Amino acid sequence: MDSQSDEERPSAVADAIGGAAVYSARFAARAWRGRLETAIEELLSAPEVGRVLDRALSGSLPEEVTRSLVKHRVAERVVRELAASGELERMIDKALASPETLVLVDRVLASEAMAHVLERALAGPEVRAALASQSAGLADHVAGGVREAASALDGRLSTVRTPTGFAGVASRGIALVVDALAILGISLAIGAAAGLVAALVDGIRPHWLAGTLLALAGVAVAVGYFVVFWQTAGQTPGMRLMHVRVLPARNDQRMTFWRALVRTLGLALAIIPCFLGFVPALFDRRRRALPDYLAGTVVVYDDGAGR
């Protein structure tokens, strides 16, 4: 058995021959590598090779290669493989975390071109339309919530529990507050204009006359405000916000100037005794207050829904 093992074991001569062959191959590779590299460089730099590449690139070859890549979805397969192996995420993280990327982003954000693009984008009609739409939507949503809460309060305050299309004191009260703010703004504008004119003519003497004129102007503004809106539109801006409207108690009648004026005077009489003139609206079947009794009117929800 020992003799058989000796026969199977490689001899020292075979080892020497094998080592010499490997050494010769390595030596030949080192000797030829430089020559091969030089030959390849000379071949690629030859004018004939350049002309061949120019003709290939100017022809349909690039388009054919691109169509083939798209047809066989090479890019999708490469990206899918990178994503499945996690290499894509590592490449993205490495790129985002590199200092060069941060410097590039800072340069882009600080450039005049980016500032010009942002200015044009923010000042564009699309952005303005979107902001206006959002603002209008928010205002409508808030106003709708106020109207719903006011109409629900109308039902709870009224002694008439059956559904009715007549507006109650809560809706009318909120509308009156909005109208009062509008009248105050108009009066302040008129007062400022009058003060400017008075300053140009060295003031109005005596002072009580100036105060009386301003008070009369405020009364005229308030009376004109309600009369004009009630006669022409049937509702003031505050009533429009609350979706309520003034109508004659009888269908064969209409809102005339005198009816609107009488209702305005009735509104003043209802407000003077601490708003006691609106108490009848809590018990009346049609929720009429003192102004409605005097002018023969009713106040209804503009959408006609029963509350």
pLDDT tens by residue, 133-184: 665 666 778 888 888 999 889 888 888 876 688 999 999 999 999 999 999 9
Residue pair 279/212 in contact (Cβ under 8 Å)? The answer is no
Q: How far is CA 226 from CA 71, 220, 251, 260, in A?
A: 75, 10, 21, 7
Distance CA 265, CA 222 (A): 11
User: What count of Cα atoms within 13 Å lies in the side-chain half-sphere of residue 8?
Assistant: 5
pLDDT given at position 307: 47
**How far, in Å, CA of 303 to CA of 239, rounded?**
12
From the list 177, 172, 216, 178, the residue with the least C-alpha distance to 194 is 216
| pLDDT score for 8 | 46
Write the CB contacts of 257 (distance below 8 Å, at least 6 apart in sequence).
Answer: 227, 231
**Which residues, 6+ apart, have CB-to-CB distance to 49 below 8 Å?**
43
CB 250 within 8 Å of CB 279: no
pLDDT of amino acid 135:
58
Helix (H) or strand (E) holding 119: helix 112-122
Mean pLDDT per 10-residue segment, the chain (307 residues): 48 54 53 64 68 72 76 78 79 77 77 74 69 66 87 87 84 95 92 79 70 86 96 94 93 89 96 94 93 95 64
Give residues with Cβ within 8 angstroms of 134, minimum separation 6: none
Residue 28, pLDDT score = 53
H or E element at residue 299? strand 297-301
What SS3 state is found at 133?
Answer: helix
Max distance between CA atoms of the chain, in angstroms, equals 146
Q: Give the pLDDT score at 10.
A: 52
pTM score above 0.75: no
